[in-house]
Chain A
């Protein structure tokens, strides 16, 4: 039987990228997203160390991350401008390595996602980027599946308007 430590680290190996991605598209800053990722896991460990029980580790991690993100949103939201994008993206030609290209692609996606209302952005990211089922999203956000679906549809509608 694997120790708690091993299980948590396995979870990290498996979901670190996904959780990082989620945090990034919510707060719009890479460094901040990394901090949130780390804090998500350390807070989860503290919970476990104090004897807390977890049924669905993935959902739990997302819930912790979501709560941390809300705290961040209350303080300050860093701006990413088109200029930043131009600086990094358009001046670098095909010589840009894979990592750089991925980062740029991410930033482009962020430009659209950050225009969404926060409550829509949250579920859109969870549904289509994190690939969570609506049932899981409802569990994470402590909401009903129906409300989650409604938010997803409204979010997509808003995206549609933005993309015109």
Chain B
């Protein structure tokens, strides 16, 4: 049986060749040159996602030369500390500390539900197991947890997010093979429809976990880029002070 993830992996390998990409790029540039912007619309900015806006905001502060905490020469220790704090505080406002606690709680619940479903299936109660998963609206829950990934901007929160996703993933892997084995056992009397529902539930969770991994990686890359920019600006600033 071919796995969904394999199909997705194959699909993602498809891309334009270098020449194709630059050829189309050139064609677009030509059209841009032929279609001038109407007077007055030059200044319309394409707004960026919040994360980048925060990054640009902090860069503006750095380059403007006005010290956040007052006299430039007397900033203690890390020059960027005040800026990082300000941004972190803004982020923490949005992502209240309790969110992380909530997330942990939610993950615990998901793990427990999966275990309970498995126990039920071991006892031959596939219908009950399916009922459990559906009633708990597991899918929606996992979705909620992963939507919070959108709010994650700091290194610390990223680590927490990664821990959460690996917990869920482990729970799935541990239980999935058991679930599959149980379902293969023909001795279990079950309503075929319900069996399908359970299988679908597992399938959806697996698919979402794959996506979640990729999302976490992207966020990590963004945070790294941000850190790099901050470091470079710091060096620049130090050189200017000399």
Contacts and interface: CB of A to CB of B under 8 A. Distances in A.
A55 B199 CA distance: 40
Nearest to A98: B13
Contact of A128 (B35, B42, B140, B210): B210
Interface stretch (B25-33, B166-174, B184-192): B25-33
Contact of B25 (A12, A50, A99, A101): A12
Given A128-B8, A128-B211, A157-B203, A49 B15 contact: no
B21 to A, nearest CB: 6
Nearest to B24: A38
Interface string A114-145: 00000000000101110101110000000000
A153 B10 contact: no
A51 B44 contact: yes
Interface stretch (B45-53, B78-86, B108-116, B152-160): B45-53
A134 to B, nearest CB: 7
A163 B10 contact: no
B179 to A, nearest CB: 14
B64 interface: no
Contacts of B36: 49
B14 A53 contact: no
Interface string A17-41: 1001100110000000010011001
A4 B42 contact: yes
A16 B19 CA distance: 13
A16 B22 CA distance: 10
A46 B35 contact: yes
Contact of B32 (A45, A50, A127): A45
B11 A25 contact: yes
B119 interface: no
Contacts of A34: 16, 20, 24
A8 interface: yes
A49 B215 contact: no
B15 A17 contact: yes
A9 B25 contact: yes
B41 to A, nearest CB: 4
A99 B15 CA distance: 9
B4 A106 contact: no
B235 interface: no
A1 B7 contact: no
Nearest to B14: A106
A132 B4 CA distance: 18
Given A24-B14, A112-B7, A45 B139 contact: no
A81 interface: no
A129 B17 contact: no
B1 A163 contact: yes
Contacts of A12: 25, 28
Interface string A53-95: 1111100000000000000000000000000000000000000
A20 B44 contact: no
Nearest to B146: A133
7 contacts: A21-B14, A21-B15, A24-B14, A34-B24, A37-B24, A149-B139, A156-B207
Top 9 nearest A-B pairs (CB, nearest first) are: A106-B14, A109-B11, A105-B10, A51-B41, A102-B13, A109-B10, A105-B13, A17-B15, A42-B31
Given A25-B11, A49-B35, A133-B215, 10 more contacts: A16-B24, A20-B14, A21-B12, A21-B15, A25-B14, A45-B31, A105-B13, A129-B12, A134-B143, A159-B4
